[in-house]
Chains A and B, each alone.
Chain A
Amino acid sequence: MRDYDLVRDRGFFERPPGRGWLASWIFSTDHKRVAILYLASTGAFFAAGAAAGLLMHLELLGPGRTVMDARTYGQAFTIHGVVMVFLVIIPAAPGVFGNFLLPLMIGARNVAFPRLNLLAWWLHVAGGALVAFSLVSGPGAADTGWTFYVPYSLLSGGGVALPLFAVFVLAVSSMLTAMNFITTVHGLRAPWLGWFRLPLFVWSVYAAAWVQLLAAPVLGAAALMVIAERYLGVGLFDPAVGGDPVLYQHLFWIYSHPAAYVMILPAMGAAAEIIPVFARKAAFGYRAVAYSSIAMALLGSMAWGQHMFVSGSSQTAGVVFSLFTFLAAVPAAVMVFNWAATLHRGSVVVETPLLYALAFVFLLVVGGLTGLVLGALSLNVHLHDTYFVVGHLHYVALGGAVTGFLAALHYWFPKIFGRMYSQRAANAALAVLFVGLNMLCFPMLVLGAEGMPRRYYDYLPRYHDMQVLSTVGSWVVAAGLLFVFANLARALSGRGRRAEANPWKAATLEWKTTSPPPEENFKRPPAAAGGPYDFRSIDLE
């Protein structure tokens, strides 16, 4: 019997002596507590962003004005985008699972820079506060869209400086986290843990961290430039003084396209952890998947012009960016095929994390394929700025990143909280969510192909049926998410049974300590083990 099976205390949830309860959380440098802080903050921001989305869909239930006027609708989709992209999806998976798992998976006690880690969370909260404040201060919420394109962001009556400065602050926050993760993986691995014995989740978070570190500063500079131009008259993008608005688009997308890969890589890493465990079979093509994480980050960083095919760039530029868009899909496909090969002829155990991971893979594939459709130059001419783009991005963001986050949550929940949830309820919630996601997003693809533009407050009567279907889908998604979180909350409330150290019989290092782990992670340093997917030795224990 392993010693970490016997421990029945609250692990890192135990309050360290000499501190009040609140201070022990919000001033904690324990990476596990910081992860929980991120869970709380991104969860709150997700609820706010989802509320904006639901309101938007309520407006789209009928043509013409339903519940709000056109300008308010513009503010709603701006807030929805800013909150979801910068406050939820980009920080959530690295902030929660990267923070919690990276040191555990490499056998370390903490990240390389624990205080910078806490600072990054505080900056995350500050960014959220700035966005919230922008809604109620002076000129009110911005209505430029989350992309803040010039020239409208220079002219709009809404308040643009606060959300743009929030974007800058959030860029700094995510850069600190990225710097932390890269240094942690390089420097704090257990002595026997070489690069190619790392769990694949570490590879994906590491690749995402590089992208975030190098690309986010470009967005930060662009945000400051727009603020300077709007409020100090520093002419950089204004055509009246020789500026070029398209150059803003370049700077914006040089970050925001690779950011999409930052959003999806950790989710793919989580799937890469879950699938082998429930196939009871080592990850197929480990090196291919590891290299693919790096390749996706690299190639995705060179494909930003895919958002600008119809902005007046040359055909040569279009061809180059379209090529990189297609190339970036290759490593993604490699990962999907490797997951399938892992399942093939495995002794598959169908439990909740696997079901969420499979839903993730399906939705990711739909999102990825629709991305290729958009990456084809000729099709892009018709589909750019239509609902097809909205459908694509929600398949990858909601179907990919969020479902992947939920898969990771259901997989690592017993480790983090020391409690087990009801799998039946979780599976039922997934079914509701899956149906809702497709009801929400698939009509968008149809609407876009039929020509409905995005960000439009009103629409022609022939688009009505699909909009109704999509709106009902948004309610089903909301119901599914509430169901998911109610189930997990119930498990936390004390009604869930205690989880053992390794309920899924996985082989990575985080499962070799108690659930939840103690503050120092490992009561005894983890000894050199088999590989991260060596299940035979686990089954023999």
Chain B
Amino acid sequence: MTPDVKDAAMSRDHGDSKLGMWLFLASVALFFAGPFLLFAAYGYRYPGGFAAASAELDVVLGAAGAMALLTGSLAVALAVGAVRRGRGARAVLFLYAAALLGFVFLGVRAVEWAGYLSRGLRPGGPALAAAPGGKAVFFGLYFFITGLHALGVLGGSVLLLVMAAMVRRGAAARPGAARLEKTGLIWHMASIILVYIYQLFYITG
């Protein structure tokens, strides 16, 4: 058998670029792990303060945002399936739906933030500074984590629109599905992180 000299094109066919995407996602998970580690440490130290702070969060709005994002994940998965079966037009619709749901999520998040800020729960503000121990740190972590997460969702939504344009242009053959699948993984990662955010901040806190 003649040995090959492998190059990047061959590695794509061999699924190595999927490995690359999983490695990237591992690094995203570790990125959020730092702040979540702080959540664990401070939550252990200030159980009362965290419970009081968590009670201030709007569970219903949080759930609405989570529903939007998770349904978006479903749409992305359906889009990948549609591309695989050659149903380009349907895939484009699913991608538009997912991106729209991403923007819905961002809208819900914005409404939530506006609510908390208007109630004086502003980091660095007097209300939090005077609050019992833990509440300021809770909201510091909340705004930091949800802010970065929202940036990620924004980028992801834009990426989905780009993917939709590519599928429409006819990059709907098999290699296109691989690329779409990898982009989808990013979206699913954002959903998973949101599940942790919702669970830790809104429910167990």
Which A residues fall within an 8 A CB radius of B? 107-114, 116, 175, 178-180, 182-184, 186-192, 213-218, 220-222, 224-225, 228-229, 232-236, 240-244, 247, 250-251, 254, 520-522, 525-528
Q: Which residues of B contact A179 (CB under 8 A)?
A: 20, 23-24, 27
Cβ–Cβ < 8 Å partners of B17 in chain A: 112-113, 183
Complex Cα distance, B133 from A244, in Å, reads: 12
Number of A-B contacts (CB under 8 A): 159
The distance in angstroms between the C-alpha atoms of A344 and B32, with both chains bound, is: 49
Q: How far is the CB of B177 from chain A (nearest CB, A)?
A: 19
Complex CA gap A250/B4 in Å reads: 47
User: Is B3 a contact of A240 with CB atoms below 8 Å?
Assistant: no
Binds A, one of B68-76, B135-143, B197-205: B135-143
CB distance from A2 to the nearest CB of B (A): 17
Residues of B within 8 Å of A228, CB to CB, are 144
A184 to chain B, nearest CB (A): 8
Residues of chain B at interface, number, CB under 8 A: 51
Contact flag A221-B34 (CB < 8 Å), given A190-B5, A214-B27, A242-B49: yes
- Which of chain B's residues have a CB closer than 8 A to the CB of A242? 42, 46, 49, 133-137
- Closest residue of chain B to A526 (Cβ to Cβ) is B3
Chain B residues with CB below 8 A from A221, complex form: 31-35
State in angstroms the CA–CA spacing of A247 and B141 once bound together: 13
* Cross-chain contact A183 with B16 (CB below 8 angstroms): yes
What residues of chain B lie closer than 8 Å to A222, measured between beta carbons?
A: 34
Q: How far is the CA of A224 from the CA of B2 in the complex (A)?
A: 51
Contact partners of B123 in chain A: CB under 8 A: 232-235
Please give the distance in Å from A317's CB to the nearest CB on chain B. 13
Identify the closest chain B residue to A214 (Cβ). Answer: B30
Return 28 A-B CB contacts under 8 Å, by A number: A107-B6, A111-B8, A112-B17, A114-B8, A175-B27, A183-B20, A192-B3, A214-B27, A218-B33, A221-B31, A221-B32, A221-B35, A224-B148, A225-B35, A232-B123, A234-B124, A234-B144, A235-B137, A235-B139, A236-B140, A241-B129, A243-B136, A243-B137, A244-B45, A250-B37, A251-B38, A526-B3, A528-B3
Bound-complex Cα distance A451 to B23 (A): 45
Contact pattern, B 22-64, Cβ under 8 Å of A = 1, otherwise 0: 0110111011111101100110011001000000000000000
Interface string of B118-154 (1 = CB under 8 A from A): 0000111100110001111101110110001000000
Write the nearest CB–CB distance from B22 to chain A, whole angstroms: 9
Known A236-B140, A241-B137; judge A183-B3 contact (CB<8 A): no
B residues sitting closer than 8 Å to A (CB atoms) are: 1-8, 10-11, 14-17, 19-20, 23-24, 26-28, 30-35, 37-38, 41-42, 45-46, 49, 122-125, 128-129, 133-137, 139-141, 143-144, 148
The one of B8, B38, B46, B144 that contacts A247, using a Cβ cutoff of 8 Å: B38
Q: Which residue of B lies closest to A525 (CB)?
A: B5
CB contacts (< 8 Å) of A225 on chain B: these are 34-35, 38, 144
Known: A232-B123, A247-B38, A527-B3. A218 touches B30 (CB 8 A): yes
Q: Is the CB of B19 within 8 A of A183?
A: yes
Nearest B residue to A106, CB-CB: B6
Whether B3 and A107, one on each chain, are in contact in the complex, defined by CB atoms closer than 8 angstroms, is yes
Distance, CA A139 to CA B149, complexed state (A): 30
Contact of A520 among B2, B5, B23, B32 (CB under 8 A): B5
Query: Of B7, B49, B144, which one neighbours A108 at CB under 8 angstroms?
Result: B7
Q: How far is it, in angstroms, between the C-alpha of A496 and the C-alpha of B2 when the chains are bound?
A: 38
Query: Which residues of B lie under 8 Å from residue A191 when comparing CB positions?
Result: 1, 3-4
Please state if A183 and B31 are interface contacts (CB–CB under 8 Å): no
**How far does the alpha carbon of A214 sit from the alpha carbon of B42 in the complex, in Å?**
23
Name which of B6, B11, B28, B144 has the most chain A CB atoms within 10 A of its CB. Answer: B6
Q: Which residues of B contact A189 (CB under 8 A)?
A: 6
A209 to chain B, nearest CB (A): 9
**Residue on A with the closest CB to B29?**
A217
Q: Which of A175, A188, A192, A243 contacts B11 (CB 8 A)?
A: A188
Provide the bound-state CA to CA distance between A244 and B136, in Å.
12
- Name the 7 nearest CB pairs between A and B, nearest first: A233-B124, A187-B16, A241-B136, A217-B31, A109-B7, A221-B34, A217-B30
